[in-house]
Structure 1
Amino acid sequence: MLNVKRLELLLDVVELGSVTAAGAKHGYSPSGVSQQLRRLETEVGQPLLQRHTRGMVPTEAGHVLASHTRRILRQLAAAESDLAGIAGLGRGSVTMGTFPTLGGSFLPLVISRFKKQYPAIELRVRSSRFEELVEMLENGQVGLSLLWDYEWDRIQPETFALTTVFEDATVLIVGKEHRLARRKQVAMADLSAEEWIVRGDEHPVVEVLHRSSEAAGFTPRIAFEANDYQEAQAMASVGLGIALAPRTAVVNKHPGVSILSLGASAPSRRILLAHRHERVRAAAEIAFQGTLLDVAKDPGAAF
């Protein structure tokens, strides 16, 4: 492996024209520079410099290696700048996407912590449906986005770079007066006689219900189609039916309902953080992802 310090000495000899000038820049004696350059020539297996009446001039191999070294040093400087940016983060911006259930539960916890850690970073958030979030990622309107998937319809890893944030369990919503309201956990097989409140417009939770009820051996009877989870909770609170929801959708719980675990009898969804594979990521964005994952691991986070 080539030594970066020796590469830098080579570049300075090429650009300054002498071993003495390069040594003075780095605090080496001329003999010390020459010794380092001989080691570098041994590493690459060919001569890199030749003495000329006007000083040291590079061979063809020396020119090639010096050109690569300029790019390497620029990249290292950029890396140091990004790391310094993460440490201090006195600049930068993050534009991210989310969807409503996380925008109303998990994400505010992340934003609150991030703003305390990095008050100078500008944060912009776009909330939308799954298809629009994917489109915004693809066209660069957002740099990263929260997404979700279920086991029967996984987002393919070649589509985006994906990081699993947490598993969002499916829970049961029942009214406070429901026969099961005092239970902590039930199984889908216990619910065959119930009437159900579902989300409309072919919402994913409808498929969760049909798959779970089919596995439990019954066909659900639909009593009401809700426009959102708040409406579903309200209708469950007055006994119109019971409903399934991701746990993050009921963080803001209606006072008239109880939330029960379904254990393994209903599938959970994966919450994912996605960005384009080819994206060059800014320090602020990397820092935001770190904060988001820290909040997700926090056992005290109420989502």
Structure 2
Amino acid sequence: MELDVRRLFLLAEIAEYGSLTAAAEAMMYTTSAVSQQMRRLEAEAGQTLFERHARGVVLTDAGAALVARARSIRRELAGAQSDLDALSGLRAGSLRIGSFPTASASLLPLVLTQFARAHPAVSVSVKSALRDPLRELLLMREVELALLWEYDWSPFTDEEIDTERLVDDPTVLVVAGSSDVGRSGPVDLSSLAAARWIIRADGHPVADVLTRSCHAAGFAPDISYDAHDYQEAQAMVAAGLGVALAPRLSLTNLRDDVRLVPLDPRIPVPVRRILLGQLKGRKSTPAMLGFQQTLREAAKAMPQTFGRPGQLGSVNI
């Protein structure tokens, strides 16, 4: 027969108060109810747990052993409740985040800093990957939340992953600081049909953005350089090798010798939507909820740079 933990706690109260009557009064029970529970506990234990005397009770060795266990269990339960309170209050816990490189280099550091300042006891780790590997990290539960992206022609869809649209990341034109392009305002892409272009190499999504945008403007881009990252692309633009298109989020670390020029909003401009993904049906932990809120607030505070959902967003030039 298994021991009832509630009866163990009652036995510990009897040991503390010294008698069944005193324990019953302290716990607002009747003495007969306490006596009945002790008879059941002794039946479960198969041994006598205490002896009655005129001044109260004296524990047997078996009773003393169970009281020691009961006190230990009570301490463990109190510790468990303390752990839960700490987690719910974000005074403890951990969080695993997935992110793609440009978000990791721009939006995410701000969010991590704000979250760490508000919840310093929560341990956060980040894995950076491309979009499809991030999908796998979510599905394999290696991360709890992931920053993702999509374009109209390349939506992020997965039946097992819920996404939330955080902010729109507009495409901008990168030109040399000495260039006259965009001095008077937003540029119609068709006016750059004769320009040479810096493109992202290795089938990068931004290469698709350039090709689609130029074709929509009525020309095929003349490619002068295949860049492997955005800093390299900026350097080639600064050197006069051509101009480039890039999502605004990727240009946080902007060189002094290049300028960003907005594209004419009257003509459809590719916009990269930044998403927050998590496994469908997965209940959010307090740490996840806290990080989501910090991320939403950071995204909402960036309309001048990245644009709200559905808007182009302005770019200082």
Aligned partner of 2:156 in structure 1 is: 155
Q: What amino acid sits opposite 2:196 in the alignment?
A: E
Matched, 1:282 2:285: yes
Residues 1:137 and 1:215: Cα distance change in structure 2 (over 3 Å): same
Aligned partner of 1:293 in structure 2 is: 296
Aligned partner of 1:258 in structure 2 is: 259
Shift of 1:169: 0.3
Shift of 1:178: 1.6
Shift of 1:158: 2.3
Matched, 1:229 2:230: yes
Distance 1:295 1:83 in 2: 27
Instruction: Write the deviation string for residues 77-127 of structure 1: whole angstroms up to 9, x where unpaired.
Output: x9xx979744x2111111011111111111111011101110100000111
Distance 2:152 2:302 in 1: 25
Aligned partner of 1:133 in structure 2 is: 134
Shift of 1:183: 4.0
Aligned partner of 1:272 in structure 2 is: 275
Distance 1:83 1:299 in 2: 33
Shift of 1:184: 3.6
Matched, 1:194 2:202: no
Aligned residues: 230
Q: Which has the larger radius of gyration?
A: 2
Q: What amino acid sits opposite 2:301 in the alignment?
A: D
Distance 1:293 1:166 in 2: 9
Mapping 1:150-189, distance limit 5 Å: 150-156=151-157, 158-189=159-190
8 Å contact from structure 1 (residues 95, 144) kept in 2: yes
Instruction: Write the deviation string for residues 143-173 of structure 1: whole angstroms up to 9, x where unpaired.
Output: 1100000001211262411011100000110
Residues 1:213 and 1:159: Cα distance change in structure 2 (over 3 Å): farther
Aligned partner of 1:143 in structure 2 is: 144
Shift of 1:188: 1.2
Aligned partner of 2:242 in structure 1 is: 241
Mapping 1:94-109, distance limit 5 Å: 94-109=95-110
Mapping 1:61-140, distance limit 5 Å: 85-86=87-88, 88-140=89-141
Residues 1:83 and 1:300: Cα distance change in structure 2 (over 3 Å): farther
8 Å contact from structure 2 (residues 86, 92) kept in 1: no
Distance 1:297 1:246 in 2: 18
2:142 aligned counterpart, secondary structure: coil
Aligned partner of 2:62 in structure 1 is: none
Distance 2:180 2:301 in 1: 34
Q: What amino acid sits opposite 1:293 in the alignment?
A: R
Q: What amino acid sits opposite 1:95 in the alignment?
A: R
Distance 1:277 1:116 in 2: 29
8 Å contact from structure 2 (residues 98, 143) kept in 1: yes
8 Å contact from structure 1 (residues 200, 227) kept in 2: yes
Distance 2:93 2:205 in 1: 36
Shift of 1:277: 0.4
8 Å contact from structure 2 (residues 139, 160) kept in 1: no
TM-score (norm 2): 0.67
Aligned partner of 2:64 in structure 1 is: none
Q: What amino acid sits opposite 2:272 in the alignment?
A: R
Q: What amino acid sits opposite 1:290 in the alignment?
A: Q
Instruction: Write the deviation string for residues 234-289 of structure 1: whole angstroms up to 9, x where unpaired.
Output: 00001100001000111110111000111354210110000110323211111111
Shift of 1:134: 1.1
Q: What amino acid sits opposite 1:244 in the alignment?
A: L
Out of 116-125 and 260-269, give the one that drifted further.
260-269
1:198 aligned counterpart, secondary structure: strand
Residues 1:265 and 1:238: Cα distance change in structure 2 (over 3 Å): farther
Gap runs ≥5 in structure 1: 1-23, 28-77
Q: What amino acid sits opposite 1:135 in the alignment?
A: E
Mapping 1:9-88, distance limit 5 Å: 85-86=87-88, 88=89
TM-score (norm 1): 0.70
Identical columns (%): 41
Distance 1:249 1:158 in 2: 29
Distance 2:302 2:150 in 1: 23
